[in-house]
Structure 1
Amino acid sequence: MWTTPPIRAEQQGDSLTVFTAPSSDFWRVTHYGFIRDNGHFLPQEVQGDFVAEIEVRGAYRDQYDQAGLMLRISETVWLKCGVEYVEGRQHLSAVVTNEYSDWSVLPLDDAPVSFRLRVERRGQTVEVQAALSEDGQGFSAFQMLRLAWLPLPDAVQIGPMCASPDGQGFEVVFSGLRVNALE
């Protein structure tokens, strides 16, 4: 069940097509001074250490359109990562929130057709990796985007995330979500 339902969501096999709602976002305080917790997140609970992977294709067009994965404990402790559309181009993005949001971005020279995200949780540490596809077929090797510490309990939520803070909404397709326990 979505934390905040998108305008539209359709499941076909292992693909989930979503159209985001305007003015949707996840953010807490830092720099902008506001709190938003109305982005679209489809969580599943997972215990202990794990690795989650997903492929994402988005029709990003408006400032801050975003899609990827979210790891969440509460409205004040979470991590979101993926691609975010900033100043007319796609950026790999990671926001780590522990009462306050902390944002890091890596601008992409060329807009990939799709990308894969890998989020690995080991204890209190979360590693985010991304792989890009220029043609929608082959992917680059995974590269680390972020290594973060969060006060994580044994059980957390993980799943697809998307939002349109400033735009009118956009379509995103998630596919191949896998969540596997680590030993």
Structure 2
Amino acid sequence: MQWLNEPAHWSSSHDRVIVTTSSKTDFWRITHYDFIRDNGHFYFERVSTDFVMEVDISGSYRDLYDQAGLMIRADEQHWVKAGIEYVDGVQNLSAVVTHNYSDWSMTPLPLPPLALRLRVERRQEAIHISYLDANLKYVLLRLAYFPIGPEVQVGIMCASPEGNGFEVMFDRYRLTRL
């Protein structure tokens, strides 16, 4: 795996990656906020097939928009990120799909788990974003369109758009090529 925008502080051991995000980092394009940011942290590998990607995410979220999750990226104008995003003191399940412009969907987690198990699947042009609920069943958060290309980058991502950074742990990351 390799970094896009490597953080100053991170470590990896066995099945865990720990990152302290840098301040003022994000992935976003234009919509509503009228700016482009492509400086979030993304630890990725390249895939040219359909796949299933999973990870457990836990973080010390504290500032507006602190975020961590999984990402699929074709280039700086075409990507999907999904995971936890901290908004108004609440952890939210969040998904952003970007095709030149970013959109954003989220749902609050009033009782957030200690760690969220997230799954992202690519089946042709469809991206299935799911999370493991308290009953240990995967629940679909979003189904999104993502064009088929010869190769995409996939992996873990995190960012701190407004704050000074936070620590996040990614455990048991798995990528299964289909």
TM-score range, shorter chain: over 0.9
1:46-105 CA distance string (max 9 Å, x none): 121111111111110000000000000000000000000001100000000000001000
Mapped to 1, the partners of 2:25 and 2:71 lie a distance apart of 15
Q: Which one of 145, 151, 155 corresponds to residue 151 of structure 2?
A: 155
2:140 corresponds to which residue? 144
Whether the 8 Å contact between 1:21 and 1:169 is mirrored in structure 2 is: yes
Mapped to 1, the partners of 2:75 and 2:100 lie a distance apart of 10
- The CA RMSD over aligned residues, in Å, is 1.1
2:16 corresponds to which residue? 15
Q: 1:1-183, aligned counterparts within 5 Å?
A: 1-132=2-133, 140-182=136-178
* Residue identity in the other structure for 2:77: T
* Residue identity in the other structure for 1:147: L
Whether the 8 Å contact between 1:114 and 1:132 is mirrored in structure 2 is: no
1:155, distance to aligned residue in structure 2 (A) = 1.4
1:7, distance to aligned residue in structure 2 (A) = 2.5
1:145, distance to aligned residue in structure 2 (A) = 0.6
Partner SS state of residue 155, structure 2: strand
Sequence identity percentage = 50
Whether the 8 Å contact between 2:133 and 2:139 is mirrored in structure 1 is: no
Mapped to 1, the partners of 2:18 and 2:82 lie a distance apart of 18
Mapped to 2, the partners of 1:128 and 1:171 lie a distance apart of 23
Q: Unaligned regions of 5+ residues in structure 2, if any?
A: none
Partner SS state of residue 55, structure 2: strand
1:132, distance to aligned residue in structure 2 (A) = 4.5
Whether the 8 Å contact between 2:56 and 2:172 is mirrored in structure 1 is: yes
Alignment TM-score, normalising by the size of structure 1: 0.94
Mapped to 2, the partners of 1:168 and 1:7 lie a distance apart of 13
1:136 corresponds to which residue? none
Alignment TM-score, normalising by the size of structure 2: 0.96
Whether the 8 Å contact between 2:62 and 2:86 is mirrored in structure 1 is: yes
Mapped to 2, the partners of 1:5 and 1:178 lie a distance apart of 20
Mapped to 2, the partners of 1:21 and 1:163 lie a distance apart of 7
Q: Where in structure 1 do 4 or more consecutive aligned residues deviate above 6 Å?
A: none
1:12, distance to aligned residue in structure 2 (A) = 1.1
1:140, distance to aligned residue in structure 2 (A) = 3.0
1:131, distance to aligned residue in structure 2 (A) = 1.5
* Residue identity in the other structure for 2:101: Y
